[in-house]
Structure 1
């Protein structure tokens, strides 16, 4: 018999001493301690940082950017808003951005390469990707939204001309991102000179609260009901019958150059890096021990490098959406990871990435979960399968 855990119990091993309470011990305070000595600027969210990066890199409308086909859809939309042409390069289940598969796609129009670190794992061919960009005169945008606490020191992201980060995926805050400038020829100008629009902040707060309380599927239904719309799943795209991404994933022009909201900046000042890293790694290990060899479950991260702080535990399952709904009905924060397809992208020939988007399920392993929570989640997943 499986017992549902009660209050959150922190489950973690010994903290890595080199990161010990990094945020709390720095007299300057807070999240920016991760970027000490670097040209880093906090933004309303990561999409706002990506959009600012386009202007900073002087990318012009019509320029081509190569981006991974395995994407959320939200991170590429700021590129499209900037007038750029986004061409997808293939990504398989190994989640590697392979220079050998990228280089043949480079054309005279190509001006930049967009690289994503998935689930906290730093891309293994990062040095080769940098060399590829240098050889072809391309800029690199390094997306570290999922790898904030990974690397030899947290907040790596030192290879791209610019790198972008996300805080709310690792800390329970409302939004928050950062743009870091690495290339020496780029000016150190803070592009986030506007306050976050109050209306957008309130909408985000309400949506976040509903999702936390009800789960993403039921929260979506409630929002649609409040708007007087019929409850439905993501609408299929007209041309290819693929499901669209949620509407709020698309770039909101009202947030252009918006700075971080106080709902994000204040809580971040007391966040402990060491505790988060230790707990997340311990939780990942427990998931692996519980799920390894389970029928119907394919682990997307079968191993964890010593310097990886996982965002979540991603698994591939058949009938993913049904399984997610079942888990959410049990109060589990599972998500259909990156379900839906940005309607402004050409998905033809990207079957490998599309299989990931249609089958990947994310299990929570954040630092506020303990062993009993993971045991319960695993048992419910196995029952759902």
Structure 2
């Protein structure tokens, strides 16, 4: 595992398009997948799925949606876009909503509880489901991190009145989400078709990413003229992901949080749909599990850092590997500058309160999310591990 970390390395942050995604894997492990749920609807994005799901519940004015204190802003913006009241609840050390807080302090006007399977690790939501039923609250099960898997309470997405997921987090798709609504109060309107220009752009984007990481194989020859044409039309080279420092404060009016309601009512592109439905799932599951376990073993017992959840169930397909870092701010920026595919949910929505016993605001600073998708090679993974170990020793 002696990977050279003296210079940046281009490790893909997300699954890479290409013919390798369709290779047979009949002997590989399979897990419950939200794509197989009856009534699953593919949407333009995960945030669109949240918005459409909330619309289908036909909430009355003044009713409240509770979201976890640990969140991505895209979980919050659909709530506010639709004009609902917003509230936050604390999470326990295992990532589950604090049932004690909900029992004692949940606002009386709460109508929807949004519960997330963080990092792709399935939670047992049976007691939360029972609380919702006692209180007349609807459960929105956020499976953006958990397209696959099952826990003690059953398959992910099985208990929510609404379940949502995100295609790009698990498949080589540049857009797309998934929505599942059980007994909607208002039917989900038919989604608008994607125009041919957007369809063509999505397909060319996929080819370009595949070529960038050498995944076109013998299709590379015919792809070159298409990529040359795309470059000519664009008039400039693609911009690499920025490693510049992020702004210290989150701006709710930024593009990152803004909701395009019209786009939310549009279907996903054909390229995204094909990536989700035709990908061989066994490889997705197996490689993510391998990367997660290798990271857990290598990063255990290290000074200043520890795996947040060292053990990985064989019934889960992780989205990322969560790593606790004692002094996270300099580490996060150093890793980003080096090119390590790492994220952090340090951009919480303004107004998240300090709640007794809450791990959410603590996680938002101290937990780094290391990408561990199927298109990272063993060399990529070992380079990421060594980057962390090298930083720790510096």
User: Secondary structure, in 3 states, of the residue corresponding to 1:217?
Assistant: coil
TM alignment of 1:251-330, pairs within 5 A: 251-330=259-338
Contact 2:243 2:339 in 1 (8 A): no
1:282-320 CA distances to partner (integer Å, 9 max, x unpaired)? 111111111110111121112112211111111121443
Which TM-score applies when normalising by structure 1?
A: 0.78
| Superposition deviation, residue 190 in structure 1 | 4.2
Partner of 1:361: 368
| Superposition deviation, residue 188 in structure 1 | 8.7
Q: Aligned in 2, Cα 1:17/1:175: closer, same or farther, shift over 3 Å?
A: same
Aligned residue pairs total 345
TM alignment of 1:139-288, pairs within 5 A: 139-151=138-150, 156-182=156-182, 185-186=183-184, 189-196=187-194, 214-218=240-244, 233-234=246-247, 236=249, 247-288=255-296
| Superposition deviation, residue 326 in structure 1 | 2.2
Are 2:135 and 1:136 equivalent residues in the alignment?
yes
Q: Aligned in 2, Cα 1:234/1:199: closer, same or farther, shift over 3 Å?
A: farther
Contact 2:45 2:264 in 1 (8 A): no
Structure 2, unaligned stretches of length 5 or more? 213-237
Q: Aligned in 2, Cα 1:194/1:136: closer, same or farther, shift over 3 Å?
A: same
Match of 1:381 among 373, 385, 388: 388
Partner of 1:27: none
User: Secondary structure, in 3 states, of the residue corresponding to 1:115?
Assistant: strand
1:176-205 CA distances to partner (integer Å, 9 max, x unpaired)? 1011123xx3369443522358789979x9
Partner of 2:355: 349
1:114-173 CA distances to partner (integer Å, 9 max, x unpaired)? 11110111122x011111111111111100110101227997301011100111011221
Q: Aligned in 2, Cα 1:288/1:325: closer, same or farther, shift over 3 Å?
A: same
Partner of 1:226: none
User: Secondary structure, in 3 states, of the residue corresponding to 1:88?
Assistant: strand
Contact 1:90 1:352 in 2 (8 A): yes
Cα RMSD of the aligned pairs, angstroms, is 3.5
User: Secondary structure, in 3 states, of the residue corresponding to 2:359?
Assistant: helix
